[in-house]
Copies of this chain bind each other. A is one copy, B any other.
Amino acid sequence: MTSMTMIQALNSALDVMMSRDSKVLTFGEDVGYFGGVFRVTEHLQQKYGAKRCFDAPINECGIAATAIGMAAYGLRPVIEIQFADYMYPAYDQIVSEAARIRYRSAGDYTVPMTVRMPYGGGIFGGQTHSQSPEALFTHVAGLKTVIPATPYDAKGLLISAIEDDDPVIFLEPKRVYNGPFDGRRDKPVQPWSKHPASEVPEGYYAIPLGKAQTVREGGDLTVLAYGTMVHVALAAAEDSGIDAEVIDLRTLVPVDVEAIVKSVTKTGRCVIVHEATRTSGYGAELTALVQEHCFYQLEAPIERVTGYDTPYPHALEWEYFPTPPRIIKAMRRVMES
């Protein structure tokens, strides 16, 4: 066990998998010599050679497409899209191709590829370095969508994603790459080393996809969150004085519906938190699932605390970001309903 940041944990996952399996290779913009703009692939080129960790042309379509071809050949490529905001040129290849090749060929060809992308705001990145496009993937049959919240989960989930025989969208909450930011801007920044989930084994371990984790037990209200928002939700729960249960979904598709239903059945109340724009965000699907499964247990309307339906603004970033006070307000409303 070593204390790792999320960056280090992701780097370690790649390192472990590249050393175990020569079919694993990784590429993307600035991923090679430089080690990635967020340094997730640092030292991998030096260790495994330029043929296993290399720079790609600035063409996300080509990055995804060549990875699909490699996966169809039998390799397990892991690609990095430099920012999730830049995945759109790759969207057709991911949605129309990677997601459907197993189905349309009736299993003749498969695409065991992993698409890593840093997502989310809170870094003053403006509208093209802050987006949370998870719902654009959860709508697509054939894709799995994974979002870790801690270094420990990041490594274990990335290893599972690489080992998975289907394409996995692996969204990395860049706001917590280097420390567990909880949305309290006034408090001093905590390093990961102070957080128990930064204790990460150096070797191989896997966390199964499709399993949520209850990160705070509580009886009065369920908060569903993922990525950065898990930390913010925990802070909100703490500050609110409400006995809230916080569930870190970890995998969005297939989602751990059992964990959700179990919790909401117990609490009867639910708040959903995400950073993406509200309309047709993944929170809508969670709302639909909860009300389909727990209608008779629900004592109040489910509330969504989300990014607003605007592009991610630069100057007003902290007004846009779902902070603990915004979540607490929603929790109160739900408790008082």
Interface residues of A (CB under 8 A from B): 85, 88-89, 91-92, 95-96, 99-100, 103-104, 127-128, 135-136, 138-142, 253, 276-277, 279-285, 287-288, 291-292, 295, 298, 300-304, 308-311, 337
Q: Contact check, A103 vs B311: say whether CB atoms are below 8 A apart.
A: yes
A sample of 13 inter-chain contacts (CB < 8 A) reads A88-B95, A91-B92, A136-B136, A139-B276, A139-B280, A139-B281, A141-B311, A280-B282, A284-B287, A287-B291, A292-B304, A295-B298, A295-B337
Residues of B within 8 A of A287 (CB): 284, 287-288, 291-292
Counted per complex, copies of this chain come to 2
Which residue of B85, B140, B295 contacts A301 across the interface (Cβ within 8 Å)? B295
Q: How far in angstroms is the closest Cβ of chain B from A320?
A: 11
Q: How far in angstroms is the closest Cβ of chain B from A190?
A: 32
Bound-complex Cα distance A276 to B89 (A) = 22
Q: Contact check, B280 vs A285: say whether CB atoms are below 8 A apart.
A: yes
The 8 closest A-B pairs by CB, nearest first: A88-B92, A139-B280, A295-B301, A284-B284, A287-B288, A284-B285, A284-B288, A138-B280
- Given A280-B285, A295-B301, 11 further pairs, Cβ under 8 A: A91-B91, A91-B92, A103-B311, A104-B127, A135-B280, A136-B136, A139-B280, A141-B310, A280-B284, A284-B287, A287-B291
